[in-house]
Amino acid sequence: MSQENMSQNTEVNEAATPTTGAFTLTKQDNGVAILSMDVPGESMNTLKAEFGDEISAMLDDIEQDNSIKGVVVISGKRNSFVAGADISMLAACKTAEDATAIAAGGQAVFDRIENMKATFVAAIHGPALGGGLELALACHYRVCTDAPSTQVGLPEVQLGLLPGSGGTQRLPRLIGIQQAMKMMLTGSPARAKQAKKYGIVDEVVPESVLRKVAEQFALKRKPEREAPQKGLMNKVLETTGPGRNMMFKKAREATFAKTKGNYPSPGYIIDVIETGINDGMKAGLKAEAEAFGKLVMTPESFQLRQIFFATTEMKKENGVEGVTPAKMKKVGVLGGGLMGGGIAFVTSTKAGVPVRIKDVRAEGIANAMKYSYDILNKKVKKRFIRNSEMQKQLALLTGTLDYSGYKDIDIVVEAVFEDLDLKQKMVADIEENCKETTIFASNTSSIPITQIAEKAARPENVIGLHYFSPVDKMPLAEVIAHDKTSDDVISSTVEFAKKQGKTPVVVKDGAGFYVNRILAPYMNEAANLILDGEPIEHIDKSLVKFGFPVGPVKLLDEVGIDVGTKIIPFLVEAFGERFTAPSAFDKVLSDGRKGKKNKKGFYDYEGKKPGKEVDESIYELLGLSPSSKLSEKEVAERCVLMMLNEAARCLDEGVIRNARDGDIGAIFGIGFPPFLGGPFRYMDTLGIKHVVARLNHYSTAVGDKFAPADVLVKMAESDKSFY
């Protein structure tokens, strides 16, 4: 809340209870007390176990003061209500019982709020997530602002947990079981309008009147809410025994189909909701606290929490320590293709800065503009944003067929064809048409940045900024510095990528950089398995069961077989025979198979299930009669070991700065299973000796390409780990 909003109703006399902690209780003579939360020294409020005594003392005070008719729970922070519980406290839990006690403590405080004599109102501006929403759900009314930053949700599943302070019990009772279950199983937040539509909040108001409206609600009697189920089918499913049995059964089937049993928390969420609905709130809360305790101790939750800490850490870091980034106020994008359109979209919508798109064809510019329009228009139709907001964001995009409007541009992101001569020409053009400090960032996926900067007059301004497709969805960006890139340019590019909503990983220049370099041997091994006669579906299913979002062969079809194989010659030239791709790729490409984009690849894109089934003619083309000889585990192990081995080499060569960056790069760039923590954490879990033993086994059984990296052999000998 802003200072002026906090001091509304100036005619009301206020008396604040002095405090040195996170909470302040201000009593007013209109019968409403303001309970404000402001955790000292932190940009956002988080709930901590040690706040229990402080909040209990304030609730005692409220309970004993008969003049208090209502309480408004509000944040003293400008931009957030409560961003959730402080999950770092879970690291101190030695047993499931320790974690259960934390959940039970939170439940007790929120139960007390719900049962207070005074009417409690949550006044929400900014994020109210996890424990923040659970606090709001314990209040009798909820009012939120219409600000874009306001969102409510229970994202605990993304940390391998479940809501542990009553969320699994209160949300289904408030908005219906199916909608609540969907929010908890996906972890997706709801914006203000959605929250009102679902019934999570009672009113959506401008920020300027949030406190005033919340005070009006605080003077009301507690609500008697109607049953949340709308429509006959929902009533049958949610309020009858047979209906509920079928609903929970279907939810479990759908969840298992998606998670392949790799994530325990979704199953626990369904169990705990079902317990509460069938056996009552008290039984539900007990089951919730116990399930929370068990989940905290699972290896999956441990790894997912490490990812959270790693990304939080990375947000605070500059590209180069101690080097302050320059602000990018105007951006140029070269090329109006899919990548160019995506880069322009995240720059205008997330970073909120003007983008000038340059293409040689007017259609290219139109396509890039349409990319943004299509995404934003969908949001307008779903009422996530207003039409006026869409127009405001589209107004940040302009196009040009020459370099007009490029004089004052701070950074140019190049997204033209993968052709070295063309990219070098782009560098020369930008140096001629832009200011001396303009950064040239290439979105190349395969050409070393050193080569792109080879003929540059100002090589210190040239850097790689490699996005992943589709740009609006994939969270990673690789920032690639060559040996002449200045520290200022590195820091400024990293900060620019963060402003676009990306998690940037700084990597050293070289063929394939990091992500594509570790992906190539994994994909090559999948191709080798096809040539060994393993059925394509068997290979893909094995890796999906292992935890990847899609199998390697399907991924190649999605990316484009021509694009996916383009990097191989660069890797062979740089690193030798171990990157040589199977000749099968040449046969597939010469047959005109590019994958999904031209509806001809390893999968069949005709008929009723396009892209779902393998195109059987591929076996005839390759002269194969497929027959499964290896188990799912062996297929997955062979492909994944190739990736792990290469990741270890990348760290040893300084391609990535540390194991943490390598894990985040693999998870966010190619979907390495998050519950395994990334390649380096996974190797630590397996044990380096085990990894080396398995590589040696395949080196003997299959070929030298499996020979373990020297760094792994040394680590195994000295019993070391990456973390």
Dihedral sign from CA coordinates of 453, 571, 552, 183: negative
């203000």: which residue's tokens? 192
* Cis bond upstream, residue 521 (ω within 30): no
Q: Is the dihedral of CA 436, 441, 447, 449 positive or negative?
A: positive
DSSP 196-251: HHHTS-SEEE-GGGHHHHHHHHHTSPPP-PPP---SHHHHHHHHSHHHHHHHHHHH
Decide: residue 46, CB within 10 A, 0-12 exposed, 13-18 middle, 19+ buried. buried
Which token pair is 524? 């090559």
Residue labelled with tokens 């020979």: 707
* 226 vs 408: CA distance, rounded Å: 59
Name 244's Cβ contacts closer than 8 Å, sequence gap at least 6: 177, 237, 238, 274, 277, 278
Four-CA torsion 51, 53, 55, 61, nearest 10 degrees: -160
Name 70's bridge partners.
Answer: 32, 119
Distances (CA, A) of 241 to 182, 236, 247: 20, 9, 10
**Amino acid making up residue 591:** D
Q: List CB contacts of 699: < 8 A, sequence separation 6 or more.
A: 705, 706, 707, 708
Bridge partners of residue 433, in order along the sequence: none
CA distances 656 to 167, 505, 648, 666, Å, are 40, 8, 10, 11
Measure the CA–CA gap between 414 and 426, rounded to whole angstroms.
Answer: 8
685: which 2 tokens?
């879990």
Give the closest residue to 572 by CA, choosing from 507, 506, 520: 520
CA distances for 547 relative to 116, 197, 559, 676, angstroms: 46, 35, 19, 9
Amino acid at 704: D
Question: What backbone torsions phi and psi does residue 345 show, to the nearest 5 degrees?
Answer: -65, -50
| Distance from chain centroid for Cα 545 | 21
Say which residue the tokens 């963060």 belong to: 498
Strand order in the sheet with 190-191: 127-129, 151-153, 190-191
Tokens of 495: 């900060």
What Rg value do the Cα atoms of the chain yield, rounded?
28
Please indicate whether residue 478 is annotated as part of the active site. Answer: yes
Amino acid, res. 484: K
CA 165-170-173 angle, to 5 degrees, is: 165
- Annotated catalytic residue, options 290, 300, 414, 478: 478
**Residues annotated as part of the active site:** 478
